[in-house]
Amino acid sequence: MNPTQDKALRIGWIGTGVMGLSMCGHLMAAGHPATVHNRTRAKAQPLLDRGAAWADSPKQVAQASDIVFSIVGFPDDVRRVYLDADGVLAGLKPGAIAVDMTTTSPSLAVEIFAAARNNGQHTLDAPVSGGDVGAKNAALSIMVGGEAAVFAQVRPLFERMGRIILHQGAAGAGQHTKMCNQIVIAGSMIGVCESLLYATRAGLNPQVLLGSISKGAAGCWSLENLAPRILKGDFAPGFMIDHFIKDMGIALEESRRMGLKLPGLELMHGLYSQAAKDGHGRDGTQALFLALQKLSA
């Protein structure tokens, strides 16, 4: 199978939430017929309206597809989607490829890779960064683990969804890279939120503040994309706090396994966990601002 030679390559897509809806849409726009599955069918309706076919299970998606993509919620969801009796590997043809773009544990990515290899199938772990904006604009950073030859086959499809596409190494390496990404984001988010709280208390104009600091040494994606949402009172999820807590938990677990102590990440995990307890678990990560604001009330 070579996606660069087969423009009618049949894709399967599992998980049509905030990210998956746009990502699958880009592949459909490039001319690839799609079969989709989501736990809640209504969330897939925009793709069905564009001509995608519905499948009742991940296994049926795989049976109808040349290559399957997934982006779901939590490691348990990934395990179910791939390894259950009605999962992807039960329906994937020998030699076919499945690509999990969920942020999940590196060890699970390795387990799925090994199970697929035993069946003569191929898998990649390919988590992404860029949030809902990156998904909508096909501007994601895609971090890929798995065999280099398989990565090369899938790369033309990745290029429909992202701008930065790098092969990080063997199975699980994509997930380890995403953990590094999330550690950086955790640190930058507390800086963004505390900076805006400080500015407000000091009587500064936050919009003018952003004009000064967003293009200097403090500049970062969160400052550019999430700080303006905070100032508008927009805490809708591009990436939900519940999912970020899950990611930080995976990173902390992997760190302990490797004998690392990451006190900054532990602090952020605790702050975000409190934000979830305050009722912000399904808000965007920028809702950390509300939790910190409460501490200063």
Q: Annotated active-site positions, please?
A: 178
Rounded distance, CA 276 to CA 288, Å? Answer: 9
Sign of CA dihedral 208, 214, 215, 217: positive
* Cβ-contact 276, 242 below 8 angstroms: yes
* Strands, E assignment, the chain: 11-14, 34-37, 53-54, 67-70, 97-100, 122-125, 128-129, 140-145, 162-169
Give the count of beta carbons closer than 10 Å to the beta carbon of residue 152. 13
Rounded distance, CA 62 to CA 98, Å? Answer: 8
Angle at 148 between CA 90 and CA 10, to 5 degrees: 45
Q: Terminal CA-to-CA distance of the chain, rounded, Å?
A: 59
Of the candidates 173, 28, 10, which has an alpha carbon nearest to the alpha carbon of residue 93? 10
